[in-house]
């Protein structure tokens, strides 16, 4: 399913996304809670306007979007007639790893080889490591590829080489003002809004067995085409309140697998943005993925397969619905 299967259900009077009608180019759109979408290129008189272009002048654009959301007499389009694309095309994707306490401990147990250390010992050692990380104030981050992004209702193609595809629903901060070497206190002022990502992971290739000294292989494990369903839309930060207190839920074929608050994050959104910006200049439209809570497939012993349907939601930010399909032989 490519169009939104449910009403928006987001915080505030509007959100921003990327949409298209059948046979027509995509456009930046303003979506309101009753399920109407306004073509912002037409409303603002700027042909070819993209969401990223809006983000590049977010401070000046946001008040105007608020005005448009309340205007009548414009040509609003029914959301159910439109295809919903990923809300923005980022230049850069920064991803936090091992950022939810319970999730990290569960993964440590799941990755322990058969016949290895007792689960209680693994949990205790993982908890001690997390305590040390929190004290040292050093988030763990890596980079993702924009080519992995698909829309929030697009099919997720499971590559033929991937043996253990897993889900990881995540809160995403979308940058609206360039950020380079910013402090924690200033970091959230650089966020335009928030959206949702499902950071699909090929678990069997996370660690390089041929080169254990190198560590993780994030290129292969997380960046296949379609491994990052994004959206459905960007909800302005002003409407979200505290990003450290949002409910993250993922259902697999109707069964709840992840259900956790962002309170379980080790490092909050502000700390992650500040940390990333010490090395990278974050630009408007860039994404900062904040990590995934407990309840992944490795924990349940049940990984993704052909025909599975994932429904992911974060309170106030809308919901995704994606179907897994096996890659067809070439």
Quick one: pLDDT at residue 146? 98
236: Cβ contacts below 8 Å, ≥ 6 apart: 12, 14, 15, 16, 62, 65, 192, 193
Sites in the chain below the pLDDT cut of 50: 1
Domains of the chain, first to last: 15-85 (no CATH), 93-326 (3.90.850.10)
Quick one: pLDDT at residue 6? 52
Quick one: pLDDT at residue 4? 57
Quick one: pLDDT at residue 215? 84
The answer to pTM > 0.85 is yes
Q: Under the phi-then-psi rule, with left for phi > 0, alpha for psi from -120 to 50, and beta for the rest, what region is 103? A: alpha
315: Cβ contacts below 8 Å, ≥ 6 apart: 246, 247
Q: How many CA atoms lie within 13 A of 150 on its CB side?
A: 23
Q: Tokens standing for 26?
A: 């995509």
Quick one: pLDDT at residue 128? 84
pLDDT in tens, 125-172: 888 888 888 788 889 999 999 999 999 999 999 999 999 999 999 999
Q: Is 195 helix (H, G, I), strand (E, B) or coil?
A: strand
Quick one: pLDDT at residue 7? 58
Can you spell out the DSSP letters for 220-249?
HHH-STT-EEB-S-BEEHHHH--TTS-EEE
Measured in residues, the chain has a length of 330
Mean pLDDT of the chain: 93
Quick one: pLDDT at residue 3? 54
């Amino acid at each position: 399913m490519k169009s939104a299967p449910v009403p928006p259900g987001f915080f505030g009077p509007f959100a921003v996304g990327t949409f298209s009608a059948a046979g027509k180019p995509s456009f930046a759109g303003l979506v309101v809670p009753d399920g109407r979408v306004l073509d912002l290129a037409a409303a603002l008189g700027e042909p070819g306007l993209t969401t990223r272009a809006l983000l590049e002048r977010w401070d000046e654009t946001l008040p105007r979007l608020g005005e448009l959301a309340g205007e009548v007499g414009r040509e609003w389009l029914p959301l159910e007639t439109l295809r919903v694309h990923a809300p923005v095309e980022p230049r850069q994707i920064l991803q936090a790893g091992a950022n939810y306490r319970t999730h990290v401990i569960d993964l440590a147990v799941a990755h322990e080889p058969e016949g290895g250390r007792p689960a209680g010992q693994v949990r205790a050692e993982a908890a001690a490591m997390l305590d040390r990380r929190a004290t040292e104030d050093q988030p763990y981050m890596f980079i993702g590829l924009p080519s992995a992004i698909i829309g929030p209702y697009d099919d997720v193609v499971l590559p033929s080489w991937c043996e253990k595809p897993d889900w990881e629903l995540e809160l995403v901060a979308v940058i609206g003002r360039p950020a380079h070497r910013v402090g924690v206190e200033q970091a959230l002022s650089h966020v335009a809004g928030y959206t949702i990502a499902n950071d699909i992971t090929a678990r069997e290739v996370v660690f390089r067995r041929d080169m254990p000294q190198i560590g993780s292989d994030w290129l292969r494990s997380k960046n296949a085409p379609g491994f990052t369903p994004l959206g459905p839309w960007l909800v302005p930060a002003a409407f979200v309140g505290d990003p450290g207190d949002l409910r993250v839920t993922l259902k697999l074929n109707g069964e709840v697998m992840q259900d956790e608050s962002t309170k379980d994050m080790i490092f909050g959104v502000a700390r992650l943005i500040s940390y990333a910006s010490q090395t990278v200049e974050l630009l408007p439209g860039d994404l900062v993925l904040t990590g995934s809570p407990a309840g992944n497939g490795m924990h349940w012993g049940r990984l993704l397969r052909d025909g599975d349907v994932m429904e992911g939601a974060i309170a106030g930010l809308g919901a995704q619905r994606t179907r897994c399909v096996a890659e067809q032989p070439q």
